[in-house]
Amino acid sequence: MKLAVAVVLLAALVASSHASSRVDGPPFPLPIHLLRPLSGSAGHPLIGVSCESWRVGVEANNVRDWKTIPRTCEGYVGHYMLGDLYRQDSALVTAEAANYAEGLNLQGDGKDVWVFDIDETTLSNLPYYAHHGFGVELYNGTSFQAWVMTGEAPALPESLGLYKKLLSLGIKIVFLTGRAEDKRNVTAHNLKMVGYDTWEKLLLKGSNVSGSTVAYKSGMRQKLIDEGYRIVGNMGDQWSDILGEPEGDRTFKFPDPMYYLS
Amino acid sequence: MKLAVAVVLLAALVASSHASSRVDGPPFPLPIHLLRPLSGSAGHPLIGVSCESWRVGVEANNVRDWKTIPRTCEGYVGHYMLGDLYRQDSALVTAEAANYAEGLNLQGDGKDVWVFDIDETTLSNLPYYAHHGFGVELYNGTSFQAWVMTGEAPALPESLGLYKKLLSLGIKIVFLTGRAEDKRNVTAHNLKMVGYDTWEKLLLKGSNVSGSTVAYKSGMRQKLIDEGYRIVGNMGDQWSDILGEPEGDRTFKFPDPMYYLS
């Protein structure tokens, strides 16, 4: 592909960069102080950056502690979630994971496990979020739990493919979810209905558990290790699913621009 | 924004997802086994996913240990690096960082430091990479070091803006780079020339250092802690810049789809 234009653009970049070192700030796209704070803000408009940059910032764990997506990004996130790119992004992650898993030297003693989160990692709540602004509305526990209780969440097709691949390699599956223990039956039924028909453990959150997701999930992973399991892989849509020792031998961040759990 | 079409697409997603649970794999975009391995491959074509998904996979640390960008992505990566999106992605990261830094309770004793990587974080080697396929060519140490010795790398404007903001808040700057000690003079001169005119430390790699970037950089950060510094922030374009304890109180991944350092 020819990039003749690129050289002109590059010259402009170099020139503007050198120029900016002589004045008191970068001229493009906007001085930093004009960019609205993004983290922790609820529904604020983005100024100076696109919704695409915001989404990539979420995936790279640069944008943290947000309560809702930026108000101006409802359409963008909706189209992303329902369009081809979300599926491609999902396919890339699961292909990387499958490729990694195929290269493992497994011991074959039944102690190699893969930890999967559930919501937005193996099951999709998109039918719910499509009716609730794709994350632009503040989380509503009552309506979300009512949706969970329907047991009708579809499988994320790429994750289901990975699940089957891992099983075929002899890796056992552990589901580790922030869903509460009282959702055990509906969750197990929902998983089976859409094709996740076997697992080593389905770990839900006890009613006595408090604290952050990182503390809860890393504690549960430590318990698996203490029971003699080797966590060869760990996949979740939230950074809080995959940060915190023991993380597992390798972690995978499944895409999710709709909500943030610390 | 109206998303009437979205509901139709959603219905299709749910339908295809349910259908896929009854056959033996997801029908879209391609079965996993047809996706070529991505990690560790040199210049392989991507099949079934876009260069955009590949880039986001790199930013999210899902795609690792690659030697070159996928061959088919040279044009995409070139246009990304020279276009608006790279600048917007950079602006988002530095705005998040500035916002975070402004919210800190600093002790004002001169021990609060921010660790910056240099290449593709504060200085740009884009003039070099624009002549070398934007990462599609295997790394060539001879030609790259010759470029470094020119001392003509421009500042990344958004990072320079962040640098000035941090200084104005009373945070001291530590540059921590994989560049070798024999590049000290040219690196210092290059930094000053483009506007990075002061720092607490400029840490380069000694000739006796071996091992991974993670081991080297986390070791150097530990040394800073041992000297009484508090690393309030840590920014790099490589995950190996920001992983490994002590990471710093908060880390920021600056975008870089051109190369991978483990």
Tens of pLDDT, residue by residue over B132-178, are 999 999 999 999 999 999 999 999 999 999 999 999 999 999 999 99
Residue A73 has a pLDDT of 94
Q: Does A8 reach chain B within 8 Å, measured CB to CB? A: no
What stretch of H or E contains B252? strand B251-253
Tens of pLDDT, residue by residue over B206-226, are 988 988 999 999 999 999 999
User: Residue B35 in contact with residue A108, Cβ under 8 Å?
Assistant: no
User: Residue B76 in contact with residue B192, Cβ under 8 Å?
Assistant: no
In the predicted model, what is the mean pLDDT of residues A37-61? 77
Top pLDDT among A126 and B10 is at A126
- Beta sheet of B112-116, edge-to-edge order: B201-205, B172-180, B112-116, B230-236, B251-253
Tens of pLDDT, residue by residue over A70-100, are 999 999 999 999 999 999 999 999 999 999 9
- Could you give the percent of chain A with pLDDT greater than 90? 79
C-alpha–C-alpha distance, residues B227 and B208, integer Å: 21
- Residue A10 in this model has a pLDDT that exceeds 70: no
Q: Are residues B181 and B249 in the same domain?
A: yes
A54 falls within a domain: no
Residue B46 has a pLDDT of 73
In the predicted model, what is the mean pLDDT of residues B87-91? 96
B249: closest CA of chain A, how far (Å): 13
E strands, chain A, in order: 112-116, 172-180, 201-205, 230-236, 251-253
Q: Are residues B228 and B109 in the same domain?
A: yes
A24 falls within a domain: no
Residue B45 has a pLDDT of 59
Residue B239 has a pLDDT of 98
Averaged confidence pLDDT in chain B:
87
A2 falls within a domain: no
Q: Where are the alpha helices (DSSP H) in A43-181?
A: 51-59, 74-82, 84-102, 126-129, 141-150, 157-169
Residue A216 has a pLDDT of 97
User: Residue A137 in contact with residue A67, Cβ under 8 Å?
Assistant: no
Considering only CB atoms, B7 lies closest to which of A25, A53, A130, namely A130
Averaged confidence pLDDT in chain A:
87
Q: At what angle do helices A51-59 and B84-102 cross, to 10 degrees?
A: 60
Q: Are residues B66 and B90 in the same domain?
A: no
Read off the tokens for B89: 């992605």
Q: Among A44-58, A247-261, B125-139, where is mean pLDDT lowest?
A: A44-58
The amino acid sitting at B140 is: N
Read off the tokens for B15: 């339908």
Residue A46 has a pLDDT of 72
B116 falls within a domain: yes
Q: Does B161 reach chain A within 8 Å, measured CB to CB? A: yes
A180 falls within a domain: yes
| Sign of the torsion formed by the C-alpha atoms of A4, A8, A10 and A11 | positive
Top pLDDT among B27 and A145 is at A145
A9: closest CA of chain B, how far (Å): 6
- Residue A1 in this model has a pLDDT that exceeds 70: no
Residue B8 has a pLDDT of 43
Sort out which chain A residues have CB atoms less than 8 A from B9's CB and list them: 82-83
**C-beta pairs of B7-16 under 8 Å, 24+ apart in sequence:** B7/A130, B9/A82, B9/A83, B10/A82, B10/A126, B10/A127, B10/A130, B13/A82, B13/A124, B13/A126, B13/A154, B14/A127, B14/A154, B16/A157
- Could you give the percent of chain B with pLDDT greater than 70? 83
Tens of pLDDT, residue by residue over A200-222, are 999 999 988 989 999 999 999 99
In the predicted model, what is the mean pLDDT of residues B78-84? 96
Closest CA to A129 of A115, A151, A142, A144: A144
Read off the tokens for B32: 């996993």
Considering only CB atoms, B18 lies closest to which of A16, A24, A154, namely A154
Top pLDDT among A158 and B208 is at A158
User: Residue A258 in contact with residue A81, Cβ under 8 Å?
Assistant: yes
Q: Are residues B73 and B120 in the same domain?
A: no
Top pLDDT among A71 and A162 is at A162
A51 falls within a domain: no
Q: Residue written as tokens 């009512």?
A: A146
Considering only CB atoms, B95 lies closest to which of A20, A32, A84, namely A32
Q: How many domains does chain B have?
A: 2
Q: Are residues B147 and B228 in the same domain?
A: yes
Q: For residue A89, what are the CA distances in angstroms to A30, A60, A121, A137?
A: 29, 13, 12, 24
Residue A43 has a pLDDT of 52
User: In this structure, what CATH number is given to the domain that contains residue A202?
Assistant: 3.40.50.1000
Residue A13 has a pLDDT of 42
**For residue B56, what is the nearest residue in chain A, using CA coordinates?**
A56
Q: Are residues B53 and B152 in the same domain?
A: no
Give yes or no for a cis peptide into A45 (omega within 30° of 0).
no
Q: For residue A28, what are the CA distances in angstroms to A31, A172, B79, B192?
A: 7, 50, 17, 21
What's the N-to-C CA distance of chain A in angstroms?
43
B108 falls within a domain: yes
Task: Find the domain containing A209 and state its range.
Answer: 83-253
User: Residue A44 in contact with residue A38, Cβ under 8 Å?
Assistant: yes
Residue A31 has a pLDDT of 38
Inter-chain CB pairs, A–B, below 8 Å:
255
